[in-house]
Amino acid sequence: MKQLVFLFGLLFGACSAQELDLQKNTDYSLWKHSTSIPLGGNTFTSDKDHQNLISQQGIASWQDSKTVWDVFVCVTQPGRFLVSLDGNASLPSVLSVSINGQNKQVDISPEVFSDQKVGLFDFETGYNKISIQGISGQVNYPNLKEIRLHTQQPITSYFVRDNTDNRFYWGRRGPSVHLSFTPPDQTDIAYYYTELTVPSGADIVGSYFMANGFAQGYFGIQVNSPEERRVLFSVWSPYQTDDPNQIPEQYRIKLLAKGSEVYTGMFGNEDSGGQSYLVFPWKSGVKYSFLSSAHPDGQGHTVFTAYFRESNGPWQLIASFLRPMTDTWYTNPHAFLENFEDHQGYLSREVNYNTPWVFTTDQRWIPLTQAKFTTDDIGRRQYRLDFLGGIRDNRFFLKNGGFFQGTVLPDTFFDLPVNNQAPSIDFELLPK
């Protein structure tokens, strides 16, 4: 059953000039509870020319007053918070800080500064965006390391807290989300079929919409750049390494066949194996079908094959790989959604799936109507809460990124009535 947790907030108006004057004389000692937000894992900018100025240490010195840095933090209750900055500066400058329509300016002196007070702001329940911008045109603005929130009472807040295991990078990518489908009992799966649709506007650069996952690999579509999109099919080697060149010959994925215009090669970084992709201009709002298979060859190896089609068009062969030292049918059917560009983690993406089907070794089509929702380490740690999945509009769906106000409990199971007909596929006519 769905277990949705929604967070809602109310907009607060900007402080008046009179209130700002009063704040200058506020007894800040009352705000004795402090929360430090490291900018290295929680900052974004839409300014593509300056995205590389965000590092693990925070925001590097910048010179363009048009650049806006957005920092996101989630709080469980509204309230008035004292905001301050940590960093260092080589020259004096003036910064503007905006939160929920409230704006204040702070003078920065050329020194290392800690807990530089900006002023009091009203925060909403849920995610709040703290925007920082330089004033006065082309100036050497400071390096910023942390934002601090001071409150009169302890608060519960959510953000990327540390860089252990490179969590700043993973946190800026945003939480990956997954659906694991319950396979049929007491039968083996030969083929797995899925229909996928990306809603209009959700096809963000850096998104991978994985349709047909299996224990040894994955198959789906991705947005590689504003100009290029791909259909991607990969199979991991049984030899675990992030460097594909280190894989011994007897453990390497062997290409058996591929479609025309399909690139094939090796991949690494997140384990290694064989990769194939077709550059294809798929579109949001259009349904695409994915068919993948796993067949043991009777010699201790398994052949994995992937096919793709647009709507009800002809099937296209992506690739067929032999995975050595593997003797299995199709296992662990699943889907996932991820963002592989860390500077795009402030944008939201989502994907819909019709009921997936499997074709068993005893010649039956069986719908997979139950799915378990999970998220990755960033989501489970509650460093990011912008993850969601389950059933919507009589389809399975996944959503992540963009700091939206809502989430679903990991490990929740969802049951979906069959929402599409069993596939009608003549396997003998599939391209070889």
Q: What is the pLDDT along the chain (432 residues), one digit of tens a residue?
A: 333 333 333 222 333 333 333 345 467 778 899 999 999 999 999 999 899 999 999 999 899 999 999 999 999 999 999 999 999 999 899 999 999 999 999 999 999 999 999 999 999 999 999 999 999 767 899 999 999 999 999 999 999 999 999 999 999 999 999 999 999 999 999 999 999 999 999 999 999 999 999 999 999 999 999 999 999 999 999 888 888 888 888 899 999 999 999 999 887 777 678 899 999 999 999 999 999 999 999 999 999 999 999 988 899 999 999 999 999 999 999 999 999 999 999 999 999 999 999 999 999 999 999 999 999 999 999 999 999 999 999 999 999 999 998 889 999 999 998 888 899 999 999 998
Q: Give the whole-angstrom CA distance, residue 353 versus residue 211.
A: 8
At the fourth CATH level, the homologous superfamily of domain 4-159 is: Galactose-binding domain-like (2.60.120.260)
Q: 363 in helix, strand or coil?
A: coil
C-alpha closest to that of 413 among 382, 378, 369: 369
The pair of three-digit structure tokens given for residue 36, joined into one six-digit string: 């430090």
Q: 152 in helix, strand or coil?
A: coil
Give pLDDT, residue 243.
83
Contact in structure between 96 and 146 (CB atoms under 8 Å): no
Q: For strand 229-236 and strand 4-5, is the pairing parallel, antiparallel, or unpaired?
A: unpaired
Q: Give the whole-angstrom CA distance, residue 141 versus residue 93.
A: 6
- E-strand stretches of 311-418: 316-323, 334-339, 349-353, 357-360, 365-367, 370-375, 387-392, 395-400, 407-408, 412-415
CATH fold of 172-429: Jelly Rolls (2.60.120)
Q: Which helix (H) or strand (E) holds 20?
A: helix 17-24
By CB atoms closer than 10 A (0-12, 13-18, 19+), residue 166 is exposed
Q: Which helix (H) or strand (E) holds 95?
A: strand 93-99
Give pLDDT, residue 273.
83
> What residues form DSSP beta bridges with 132?
69, 97
Q: Give the whole-angstrom CA distance, residue 144 versus residue 146.
A: 6
> What residues form DSSP beta bridges with 150?
34, 82
Handedness of CA 268, 274, 278, 284 (dihedral sign): negative
* CATH fold match for the domains 4-159 and 172-429: yes
Contact in structure between 2 and 411 (CB atoms under 8 Å): no
pTM: 0.90
Q: How far, CA to CA in Å, does 199 sit from each of 4, 68, 285, 352?
A: 21, 28, 5, 7
Q: Give the whole-angstrom CA distance, residue 59 versus residue 54.
A: 5
Q: Give the whole-angstrom CA distance, residue 209 versus residue 212.
A: 10
- Our CA dihedral for 94, 99, 101, 106, rounded to 10 degrees, sits at -20
Q: Give the whole-angstrom CA distance, residue 160 versus residue 172.
A: 8
Q: 178 in helix, strand or coil?
A: strand
The answer for residues whose C-beta is within 8 angstroms of residue 287's C-beta and 6 or more apart is 195, 196, 197, 311, 354
> What residues form DSSP beta bridges with 80?
122
C-alpha closest to that of 283 among 231, 334, 342, 234: 231
Give pLDDT, residue 26.
62
Give pLDDT, residue 4.
34
Domain boundaries of the chain, sorted by first residue: 4-159, 172-429
The pair of three-digit structure tokens given for residue 324, joined into one six-digit string: 């050595």
Q: Give the whole-angstrom CA distance, residue 387 versus residue 420.
A: 26
For 297-354, the pLDDT digits (tens) are 999 999 999 999 998 889 999 999 999 999 999 999 999 999 999 999 999 999 999 9
